[in-house]
Chain A
């Protein structure tokens, strides 16, 4: 499964993308985020506060209860900011 990180999620983890193979009990985004948080201090910092994160599965916005599959492209990022114009 291909993971993409954007904005401060990317800078905290120190990676723009990575390929991961989570254990088979990880079937939702929420479970994936909990598992990713155990991968290292950068991941732990980036995934500490779920409410500050947004997700896309195969380029569609999905909530934490969304289902995931091994071939998915999963993106994690902060709320989008078109603001201040």
Chain B
């Protein structure tokens, strides 16, 4: 399931909902991404996430389909926020449920690595020196490349 929203979310409630009523689920893995107050040497006062409405949902749905093809998932949630966020705010939630922990852990990590390089989001950081667009990082491409099948 995909959700793209401006509003905050309740990780506990989302995690509880994923496994509710499905007794085939033996494990639920989750990742919550937060806004940090530092980027390198500069302190960040706020961050605005811009996205491409329509394409964002398509790209996230494609990433979910890919995860479901690779792992036997009972359920899966990708929830991504957009708009202006402050340090400590939640940005993203990924939840995966499977019969066994390996698939849940691996799929959760895969979804995070892939959405960071494939979903159309851009970050504008506000610092004391002004606002600046965050450049793509090679580190993220490397993380995503770990999952490329030979």
Q: Do A and B actually bind?
A: yes
Chain A positions within 8 Å of B, measured between CB atoms, are: 4, 6-8, 56, 59-60, 75, 77-85
B55 adjacent to chain A (CB < 8 Å): yes
Is there contact, CB below 8 Å, between B50 and A7?
A: yes
Is there contact, CB below 8 Å, between A81 and B123?
A: yes
- List residues of chain B with CB within 8 A of the CB of A60: 58
- List residues of chain B with CB within 8 A of the CB of A59: 52, 54-55, 58
* Interface-located stretch among B13-21, B22-30, B101-109, B134-142: B134-142
Rounded to whole angstroms, the CA-CA distance of A75 and B33 in the bound complex is: 27
Is there contact, CB below 8 Å, between B55 and A84?
A: no
Partner of B134, one of A4, A77, A81: A81
Rounded to whole angstroms, the CA-CA distance of A84 and B125 in the bound complex is: 11
Extra pairs beyond A6-B122, A80-B122, A85-B92 (18, CB < 8 Å): A6-B52, A7-B122, A7-B124, A8-B133, A59-B58, A75-B52, A77-B52, A78-B136, A79-B136, A80-B120, A81-B121, A82-B92, A82-B116, A82-B119, A82-B140, A83-B116, A84-B123, A85-B116
Is there contact, CB below 8 Å, between A6 and B137?
A: no
Rounded to whole angstroms, the CA-CA distance of A60 and B135 in the bound complex is: 21
Is there contact, CB below 8 Å, between B119 and A83?
A: no
| Distance of B38 from chain A, by nearest CB (Å) | 10
Is there contact, CB below 8 Å, between B120 and A6?
A: yes
B95 adjacent to chain A (CB < 8 Å): no
Rounded to whole angstroms, the CA-CA distance of A77 and B137 in the bound complex is: 15
Known: A80-B119, A81-B122, A85-B116. A75 touches B140 (CB 8 A): no
Which residues from 80 to 118 on chain B have a C-beta closer than 8 Å to any C-beta of chain A? Answer: 91-92, 112, 115-118
